[in-house]
Amino acid sequence: MAYVEWRGNTCRVVWNTRKKDDRGKWIYDQQGGFTDEVEAKNYGLDREAEIRNDDYISRRDGSVTIGEYAKTWVDTLDVGHLRDKAIRSMLRLYVVPRWGETAIADIQPSTYRAWKKQLKDLPNVGEKYGEEILTVFSMLMDDAVDDELRKTSPVPKGKKQRRGRYKKKPRERKREMRIEDVHQLACNALAFWGLDGFVFVWTIATTGMRPAELYALRRVYSHPTWPASDPLDDPEERDREERHEEDLERYGPDLMPAIRVQWQHQREEGVLKLFPPKYESRRTLVVPPFLAELLELLLASHDSEFVFRSIAGGLLANANFTYHYWRPIADGRDASPEFERIRLGQRQKVTSRRPVPAIPATAYSGKRLYLLRHGHKEWIDEAGGEHSRIAVETRMGHEVAGVEGLYANVTTAMERRMMDSLQERFECFVRETVWEMASASPSLLPNGLSEWWNRQVRAAEGAG
């Protein structure tokens, strides 16, 4: 039973928490500062009622600070290495500096809302990053409730979360992905990067692969050697033997040409490593015949383990791809300048070690590389009912939730229709474009690619 003790002009109430310490003695909690004995007594009785209802948070538990709790909390998360790194960064830069000395029990919904507003005003915190920070803080508070450090989370949920002025979320303005724009990008990549760049652009546009998946695409997982060359080297893929047997019956140069998305390149503690694709979306992507021929040309031109090499022949994932590759290809650039120098007493006019001709700007000037993946989704969606939703989402590396995803399956016929629709789009492009008036005329392609192009023209004329 709670009891009251006077100390000078104020009194305190003491109650038994019904918990024992390491020595087996009862643990008592207390609250002081009362001037009315009845009020103090009632306060203690209310706490005892909470104890009986298993709804009590002791002052000792509630006094744990956010800084102390966050040190151990972050180690309980079971997330990928990139997500773990991001969460630790957000805790260090934003959560702990604001709340580190604050007791978990003392955080109120009003102070949380004030902090949320302050985050929005920070110049280095964008809208999406700010939402990520708030999500991490919400997770931390939810776990604090589960650990009985407070009764409820100060982060509002449901309708309360949406209080305040309505603000429509801005969406990136897109234009439809036209195949002539993709060809211009590919020709720019050819001039700036080489054959690797030409095939890279067509591959991302006709497969929708994520950039990190393309960086890590190995020869053994690409047409024309896959699936016969599949090393089955992913220990986390439990059914890989069974999957491989089915692949041999379904894909290949004489069946349907395809690429296997098995890995992506990411850095862990500064070291470049192979990891499963995002969301562990391992998948097989059938490719149209014109791209299959390009992949054969590219792999015949080098003996590297990886399909797409950097300009210097190394790992593409080691480059700052957006800045050093994508921006010149998409935005265009001037030709490599000539400069004069005097050598052995004679004036010489020279260019850079790797002279690059002038490259025109494209429709993707200032835009993201990732929009080519979005554009691939547009292309396969344009076919309407020709492609099932499960085939489209699986190709993009997404899972269809619920019963629809549980019962659905991607069949050979679905994949063949997708392959044929992409090939038909390309052949239509070949037939209808007036090339000699285009800035990226195929007549400017080097010998190996011009022969490839002539085969596409003949195939398009035959199909027409």
State percent of the chain over pLDDT 90.
33
Structure tokens at 279: 């969301």
Neighbours of 287 (CB within 10 A): 25
Over 80: is that where the pLDDT of 333 sits? yes
Q: Give the pLDDT confidence score for residue 169 in this predicted structure.
A: 65
- Residues sharing a CB contact under 8 Å with residue 357, sequence separation 6 or more, in sequence order: 191, 335, 336
Neighbours of 97 (CB within 10 A): 11
The arithmetic mean of pLDDT across residues 372-387, rounded, is 82
Q: Give the pLDDT confidence score for residue 372 in this predicted structure.
A: 94
Q: Give the pLDDT confidence score for residue 6 in this predicted structure.
A: 87
Over 50: is that where the pLDDT of 180 sits? yes
Place of tokens 């007036």: 434
Residues 143-167: pLDDT tens digits?
Answer: 988 887 887 888 887 655 555 565 6
Q: Give the pLDDT confidence score for residue 436 in this predicted structure.
A: 46
The arithmetic mean of pLDDT across residues 292-312, rounded, is 93
Helix (H) or strand (E) holding 186: helix 179-192
Over 70: is that where the pLDDT of 271 sits? yes
Higher pLDDT, 218 or 270: 218
State how far the Cα of 38 lies from the Cα of 43, in Å rounded to an integer: 9
Q: Which residues pair with 261 in a beta bridge?
A: 283
Residues 407-434: pLDDT tens digits?
Answer: 778 888 888 998 999 999 998 888 876 5
Q: Give the pLDDT confidence score for residue 279 in this predicted structure.
A: 86
441 — pLDDT class (breaks 50, 70, 90): low
**Which 3 state secondary structure label does DSSP give 306?**
strand
Neighbours of 333 (CB within 10 A): 17
Nearest 10 degrees: CA dihedral of 341, 344, 345, 346?
A: -60
State how far the Cα of 394 lies from the Cα of 283, in Å rounded to an integer: 7
Helices and strands, number each (H, E), in the chain = 19, 9
State how far the Cα of 12 lies from the Cα of 7, in Å rounded to an integer: 7
The arithmetic mean of pLDDT across residues 127-132, rounded, is 87
Over 70: is that where the pLDDT of 349 sits? no
Supply the mean pLDDT for the chain: 84
What's the pTM value of the predicted model, to 2 decimals? Answer: 0.75
With vertex at residue 316, the alpha carbon angle to CA 309 and CA 198, rounded to the nearest 5 degrees, is 50
